[in-house]
Structure 1
Amino acid sequence: MQGVWFALGVALLAGLATGIGGVIIAVGKQPGPKLLAGGLGFSAGVMIFLSFAEMMPAAAEYIGREQPEDAVPWWVFTGFFAGVALIAIIDRLVPMSINPHEPLEPGGMGNGAGIDPALLRTGVMVGLALALHNFPEGFATFVTALEDPRLALPIVIAIALHNIPEGVAVAVPIRVATGSRWKAAGFATLTGLSEPVGAVLGYLLIQPFMTDTIFGLTLATVAGVMVFVSLDKLLPTAEKYGEHHVAIYALIGGMALMALTLAVVQ
């Protein structure tokens, strides 16, 4: 039971990071282009490195406990590209005007200038869409922490860094639409709570059927999701802010920090 509470706490911490993005919007001026580009690039570096250096090998290890050795790569690669396909389909199904991953215009944060008018009209829908994105992420985080606690720290770091800019994306239209900084921060935090909700429901509904093969596939699928989001959303958004070198240097920094983290927790 202690392991369940630990895993739930990990999912909760990862989800609450969305609120950090909301607080950033609430406490003062919006981050400038360099800070935003650097944060997005750093998050991408963490997730890409974690996916290939830790999650994919761990997926192969778990799947190898039940499947023939020559079949393991096929299982892992299938899970990886299934994750890519899953998040790509979800991304296509969410309209661009309310997609929480779609970038805001440079220089348009905090004063209403340059922000997509659809985001102003549908601020609540942005949060709901983000909550839908975070729901399966919460289950994956919970299962990872429950089955392999040594992965908990890097998973929390990666998802938290990913959730912070998403929290910003939620809070900006809410702040502009309502004029309230703290409503924006509160709503961003609320959307992040879908992660622990996803963890609990996933545990109750799916955990009884969990095997080493299914867990390995889950890891590989989450890796695919992380890589797709990094390459298709985070880095292009950083580029949109016109700070190419800042984003790339931050990406390498994120990889270096994750490498250090993984070396320490091994």
Structure 2
Amino acid sequence: MQENFWLAFALTSFAGLSTGIGSLMALFAKRTDTRLLCAALGFSAGVMIYVSMIELMSEAKASLVHYAGHSLGGWLAVGGFFGGMLLISLIDRLVPHPVNPHEVSHVEKAGSQEHKDQKLLRMGVFTGLAVAIHNFPEGIASFLATINDPAMGMMIAVAIAIHNIPEGIAVSLPIFYATGSQQKAFLYSFLSGVAEPVGAIIGYLFLQPFLNEFVLGLTFAIIAGIMVFISFDELLPAAEQFGEHHLSIYGLISGMLIMAVSLLLAD
């Protein structure tokens, strides 16, 4: 697994720093293509849900059953899955509503309200911090998945990258409207994504001395829970807000299909 370290780091960095893509879209596009964003977010959710339920949970259960036996291993896998959901939901709850990047109702309206510059700047900075907090577990998920299976990790990284684009928009717009500086807006958005590779490295260094079948299996179960929660709590609602219900579902199914085919081809 160690030979995949740099690939895992590169993919995790790509996923995290795609917040910069969202920032560029917000700052330079005259109008965001919300239909495309809707389908892309649905696609991202499809990839995450499929890989979590079909691949990660299978890997988690196999490792935990081998380590702890059929009955206990199964319970550990299920416990890890819902524990991951609980963990990311607690992180989400700790982020105040006004600065939660997943609460922006529409790309075009994100910076249109008349607020004082200081309030907008504060909102942008705190949104950046919120994104950074959310990116920590996502970075660990992408990194460890790639370490274990590069093909699966690549698809997860792409899904997370798509997911990070609207977060980049949410960070950059308030800062741009507060300061009038595209450079500052892009910088804050870009830096918020740095938490993803940083979180990945910290998580890996912490877990690496203890990596065995039990730790790896439990980690995969937790990651699966985190990604399923993100899909249902963030990606699909955001997709519907940015576009149409059916378009988000078509994106969801496409993501699942492409993930399934790519994993079969990689075998």
Q: Report the TM-score when normalising by structure 1.
A: 0.89
Q: How far did residue 95 of structure 1 move?
A: 0.5
Q: Structure 1: give runs of 5+ residues left out of the alignment.
A: none
In 2, Cα distance between the equivalents of 1:139 and 1:209?
A: 15
Deviation at 1:103, TM superposition (A): 2.6
Q: Give ranges in structure 2 of 5+ residues lacking alignment.
A: none
> Following the alignment from structure 2 to structure 1, what is the Cα–Cα distance between the partners of residues 186 and 81?
34
Residues in 2 aligned to 1:60 and 1:9: alpha-carbon distance in whole angstroms? 28
Contact kept in structure 2, 1:8 and 1:142, CA below 8 Å: yes
Spell out the pairing of 1:114-263 with structure 2 (5 A cutoff). 121-241=122-242, 243-263=244-264
Identify the residue that residue 72 of structure 1 maps to in structure 2.
73
Q: CA deviation at 1:105?
A: 3.4
Q: 1:252 to 1:147 in 2, by over 3 A?
A: closer
The one-letter code of the counterpart of 1:85 is L
Post-superposition shift, 1:242?
Answer: 5.4
Deviation at 1:180, TM superposition (A): 2.7
| C-alpha contact 2:101 2:167 (8 A) present in aligned 1 | yes
2:49 maps to 48
AA of the residue aligned to 1:102: E
Structure 1 residues 128 and 245: alpha-carbon distance in aligned structure 2, compared to 1, 3 A threshold: same
- Against the structure 1 CA distance between its residues 72 and 24, is the aligned structure 2 distance closer, same or farther, given a 3 Å change threshold? same
Contact 1:58 1:219 in 2 (8 A): yes
Corresponding residue number in structure 2 for 1:113: 112
Taking structure 1 as reference, are residues 106 and 157 closer, same or farther at Cα in structure 2, changes over 3 Å only? closer
Given the superposition, is the C-alpha separation of residues 98 and 163 from structure 1 closer, same or farther in structure 2, using an over 3 Å criterion?
A: same
Asked if structure 2 preserves the Cα contact closer than 8 Å seen for 1:100 and 1:166, the reply is yes
Relative distance call for 1:86 and 1:174 in structure 2 (3 A) is same
- CA distance in structure 1 between the partners assigned to 2:161 and 2:59 by the alignment: 21
Q: CA deviation at 1:88?
A: 0.9
Q: How many angstroms does 1:86 deviate by? A: 0.8
Structure 1: distance between partners of 2:19 and 2:61 = 31
**Contact 2:43/2:159, CA 8 A, preserved across alignment:** no
2:104 match: secondary structure: coil
Q: Report the alpha carbon displacement of residue 69 of structure 1 after superposing the two structures with TM.
A: 1.8
How much does 1:113 deviate? 2.2
1:159-181 deviation line (CA, Å, top 9, x unaligned): 22222222222222222222233
Is the contact between residue 25 and residue 185 of structure 1 (CA under 8 Å) also seen in structure 2?
no
1:80 Cα deviation after fit: 0.8
List structure 1 runs of 4+ shifted beyond 6 angstroms: 115-118
Equivalent-residue separation in structure 2 for 1:67 and 1:126 (angstroms):
42
Q: Which moved more, 1:229-238 or 1:144-153?
A: 144-153
Look up the match of 1:31.
32
Identity of aligned residues (%): 47
Q: Which structure has the highest helix share of the two?
A: 2
Distance of aligned partners of 1:115 and 1:151 in 2 relative to their CA distance in 1, 3 Å threshold? farther
Q: RMSD of the TM alignment (CA)?
A: 2.3
In 2 relative to 1, CA 116–101 (structure 1 residues): closer, same or farther, beyond 3 Å?
Answer: farther
- Structure-2 residue corresponding to 1:62: 63
Q: 1:3 to 1:262 in 2, by over 3 A?
A: closer
Q: Secondary structure at the match of 1:104?
A: coil
Contact 2:84–2:224 (CA under 8 A) maintained in structure 1: yes
Which letter maps to 1:123? Answer: G
